Amino acid sequence: MALSVYMFFFFSLLIFWCLFIKKHKKPKSTLTLPPGSMGWPYIGETSQLYSEDPNVYFALKQKRYGPIFKTHALGCPCVMLASPEAAKFVLVTHAHLFKPTYPKSKELLIGPSALFFHQGDYHTKIRRLVQNSVSPERIRKLIPFIEAEAVSTLESWVSAGQVINVFQSMKKFSFNIGILSVFGHLESNYREQLKENYCIVEKGYNSFPNRIPGTTYSQAFLARRRIQEIIREIICKRKEKRLMEEDLLGLLLNYKDEKGQTLSDDQIADNLVGVVFAAQDTTASVLTWILKYLHDHQKLLEAIKDEQIAIYEANDGGKKPLTWSQTRMMPLTYWVILESLRMASIISFTYREAAVDVVYEGYLIPKGWKVMPLFRNNHYNPEYFKDPHKFDPTRFQVAPKPNTFMPFGNGVHSCPGNELAKLNMLILIHHIVTKLRWEVVERHGGVQYSPFPVPLHGLPARFWMSH
């Protein structure tokens, strides 16, 4: 019996490998594919890509093969590009040759009409609406509400009187801010329903795409359907009340193209979910790393405190709210955010797909292959950042060279909400350093990749009021 099982597994693997060779055999061309290893049949190098230390994984690849190399991940042949020039080529100057791409299973959970699955006219008009919803004029008005959420978050840490999983708490904070920017002041019952179902979707996002009832992916798929119904109900109420809000939902609802056509409810829902999804884990991860870096660099923490206490005292001991101009007067805090974005490099790379056969640096990138510009490699390249493994916020006193620092991507598909994300960080840091003291419980903890790099166990820490 055991032998037959092994034989079945062996022949299944052999069939997969033959199909792989047939589908991805070297194109008939005088040009050559980039060097590299395609890993195991069918599986490729997916596990190494998502479970190993990306600094080590990408550095070894680049040392062995150079700045352009091929691999196989998530069932797809890929070309990885590890230079600022390559990132600019793919994301900016020749962006029309590469289309944004995600696995179909992930696309279904976010929504096929979401902004970052598209290019062309549809992408342009939705991106413009998203940018308008997080314009400086709009996010200035959000400052009091972000402050209220920040204060509430810190009070929950202190009142708990126990060890806090910082990453999980930061996820709640960034989710609530995301809901605020998308829906405005949403009724609490809708907010809780969205949060409950969103958590289920999130758990299934990186799971094996299996529709068998009871599996993580199947549960996520059903939760995504429930989110669609909740958003439809919210839209229906907005239309009944004829509300003209300036949040993202309002802008999407009021949109009409040159022919007078509006967006469908499904298109609106997909983009709302997409924006919240894009913002939550990335912002939460960076905030978690910021707390770790400040804890590990006490002199820097004291300097940050001095900068923030000056603003705190100017606001009558925190009795007055922060102003937009004050958030623009936090240079050291802002450099800490930028250096944390560089060091953590939450997004190590981005996915594109070659829309046609592309030749780059003498190598052929065949049509249909995934193309992955590597941000992390640039962020840790000593040619662009001296002593790249050293946490040094003052390096950002001088702007980095173009296309070497891309924490929010680059080109037409860069993150449109990056200014809101940085504002969230500035406000939360202000309240943390002026109100709290904290101690990281696992001082020598490692890093976990799931799939974003975060401190091991979410950075367990205790918090106290500082005065």
Q: What gap in Å lies between CA 268 and CA 274, rounded to an integer?
A: 10
Residue 375 lies in a domain: yes
Burial code (b: 16+ CB inside 10 Å, e: under 16) for 252-261 equals: bbebeeeeee
Residue 358 lies in a domain: yes
Nearest to 165 by CA among 440, 431, 453, 452: 440
Number of structural domains in the chain = 1
Residue 330 lies in a domain: no
Q: How many CA atoms lie within 13 A of 180 on its CB side?
A: 22
Residue 69 lies in a domain: yes
Give the DSSP H/E element, type plus range, for residue 81.
Answer: strand 76-81
Q: What gap in Å lies between CA 271 and CA 301, rounded to an integer?
A: 38
Give the DSSP H/E element, type plus range, for residue 290.
Answer: helix 265-296
Q: What gap in Å lies between CA 442 and CA 457, rounded to an integer?
A: 9
Full domain range(s) for residue 74:
29-103+347-379
Alpha helical stretches, state H, 75-161: 84-88, 104-110, 121-133, 136-160
Q: Between the CA of residue 21 and those of 16, 17, 26, 315, what are the distances in Å? A: 9, 6, 9, 66
Residue 58 lies in a domain: yes
Asked if residue 18 belongs to a known ligand binding site, the reply is: no
Tokens of 281: 């884990």
What are the backbone dihedrals phi and psi of residue 334, each rounded to the nearest 5 degrees, phi first? -65, -40
Residue 2 lies in a domain: no
Q: What gap in Å lies between CA 95 and CA 166, rounded to an integer?
A: 37
Q: What gap in Å lies between CA 276 and CA 180, rounded to an integer?
A: 10
Going 25 to 27 to 28 to 31, the CA torsion angle's sign is negative
Nearest to 181 by CA among 263, 271, 110, 116: 271
Residue 342 near residue 384, CB atoms below 8 Å = no
Residue 46 lies in a domain: yes
The set of residues, in sequence order, having a beta carbon less than 8 Å from that of 293 and lying 6+ positions away, is 300, 336, 339, 340, 343, 391
Residue 371 near residue 365, CB atoms below 8 Å = yes
Count CB neighbours of 212 within 10 A: 7
Residue 147 lies in a domain: no
Q: Which amino acid would we find at residue 315? A: N
What does DSSP assign to residue 40?
A: B
The set of residues, in sequence order, having a beta carbon less than 8 Å from that of 114 and lying 6+ positions away, is 107, 270, 271, 273, 274
Q: What gap in Å lies between CA 180 and CA 187, rounded to an integer?
A: 11
Tokens of 108: 């279904």
pTM over 0.85: no
Q: Which amino acid would we find at residue 231? A: I
What are the backbone dihedrals phi and psi of residue 53, each rounded to the nearest 5 degrees, phi first? -60, 115
Q: How many CA atoms lie within 13 A of 373 on its CB side?
A: 32
CATH code for position 39:
3.30.43.20
Q: What gap in Å lies between CA 190 and CA 296, rounded to an integer?
A: 40
What are the beta bridge partners of residue 115?
none
Cα Rg for the chain, rounded, in angstroms?
23
In the chain, which stretches have pLDDT less than 70?
A: 1-30, 41-43, 46-52, 74, 208, 243-244, 410-414, 443-444, 450-451, 467
What are the beta bridge partners of residue 364?
359
